[in-house]
Amino acid sequence: MNNVIKAIELIGQNSNLDNQEVLLNELKELSLSSEELQILLEKDVPSLEKLLNADHKIFCGIAPAEDDKGDDEDESEPEEDSSEKAIINW
């Protein structure tokens, strides 16, 4: 499984791996099993989740930091528009 994670990391770091032949050559260097290699080449997400025992949805969200409203802040400044909201994995 460690090599599968290394393969996923490699794919994420290298945009040149969009080419199937280049990807195959890179993955062969990681000593993956034929099943692991096939799953990665076919981009079979359900099988990859089973292989990694990651049957739960995993996501990463980044939100901008909000400024603390201190006592010394000028009350006459207009408030930021808070109508923008994002829903991730809804």
Query: What is the count of structural domains for the chain?
Result: 1
Asked if the structure places residue 79 within a domain, the reply is no
Q: What is the pTM of this model?
A: 0.55
Q: Is pLDDT larger for residue 4 or for residue 19?
A: 4
Task: Indicate the residue type of 50.
Answer: K
Lowest mean pLDDT among 10-14, 26-30, 70-74: 70-74
Q: How far apart are CA 23 and CA 20, in angstroms?
A: 5
Asked if the structure places residue 84 within a domain, the reply is no
Query: What is the tens place of the pLDDT at every residue in 32-89?
Result: 898 999 998 888 888 988 888 876 766 777 888 888 776 555 555 555 555 555 555 5
pLDDT at res. 90: 44
Structural domain including 20 reads 2-51
